[in-house]
Every structure is written in structure tokens, then in C-alpha cells.
Amino acid sequence: MFQYSVGAKSIWNAIPTGVFNSLGENKYSEYGLNTWTPENPNARYAKALYTDPSSNGRISDRYIYDTSYLRLKSIQFTYNFEQKLSSKMGIDKASLTLTGTNLLTWTKWPGIDPETFSERGTITDQINNEDPYPLAKSFSFGVHLLVMRA
């Protein structure tokens, strides 16, 4: 099963609110490689300054990103044993199942997960994405045995 979203935009708060976040190490390279310098005059972000006297780090449209994504939300593989083989073990039907969820996400979003939003504020300002925590990947394994006794 695939899940997608197209056309939404969000403010990636991870850059203007500070680069010291244990969950968002990816923002170092995003910020460092796209900051204005004389050699990079068309950069996405303003010149990095220690004390930021001009408030270059304030929220602006330069922090708005497209949150479109395609996610492999769930995949399941099932192997059914041949009845000949399972009947030798006294089992009428046998199968193994492997399921995975939230396995891959394709996006141009620079943060951890384009689908997560800030838990601070009210419903009207939930457009901020501070990379609170990504969706967890999970795997499950199942065994199905059917034994019919006469």
C-alpha cells in the first residue's frame, strides 16, 4: 500500500529555531550548503552570522518547502506451503507472513518526515514542522497453521 500527498507546503522550523537538535542532524548540511556567501550569492538562506544583528534567521518564505511525498506505507509477503508438504506434518494448511510498515518515503522535504508537525501552538498554527519525531518503521512475522481433526 502506498500513501501520498501532493501540493501542500510547510515551514521547516528546524533552521530558524536553531541547528542544535538531536533529531535533526540533516539540517546542518541543508543550512551549511545553502547559506549566502560571496561565492554562493543565490543561496536559499541569508548570510550566517554569530549574533544575527539583522535578524536574518526570522521566519520568512525562504523556510517554506513543498511537503509532497510518496510513502511505501505497508507491504506484506505471504508464503503458502504446499499441501503435500504440510500434510506430512499433520497440518492441513500452513503459511508464513512478513509485514513491514513505513518502510520508504520519497520526498524533497529537507527534514525528517514531511507528514509530522509541531505539537506546540493551536490548530491554526500547526503549519510549522520542527521535526518532532519520524514515523516508526515496524516489522511483523506471522505463522498460520490450520489443523482439522476428524
Neighbouring residues of 100: CB distance < 8 A, sequence distance ≥ 6: 74, 75, 76, 137, 138, 139, 140
| Tens of pLDDT, residues 11-52 | 776 665 554 444 445 566 777 788 888 998 888 777 777 776
Q: How many CB atoms lie within 10 A of CB 53?
A: 7
The single-letter DSSP state of residue 51 is S
**Whole-prediction pTM:** 0.66
Instruction: Give the largest Cα separation in the chain, rounded.
Output: 84
Predicted confidence at residue 141, as pLDDT, reads 97
Mean pLDDT of the chain: 78
Burial of 27 (0-12, 13-18, 19+ CB in 10 A): buried
Supply the pLDDT for residue 24.
Answer: 46
Domain range for 121:
2-146
Interatomic CA distance for residues 64 and 107, integer angstroms: 14
List Cα–Cα distances, 103 to 70, 72, 116, 135, in angstroms: 11, 6, 16, 10
Provide the domain count of the chain.
1
> Alpha-carbon torsion 14, 16, 19, 20, what sign?
negative
Tens-digit pLDDT profile for residues 78-108: 999 888 777 777 788 889 999 999 999 999 8
- C-beta of residue 112 within 8 angstroms of C-beta of residue 134: yes
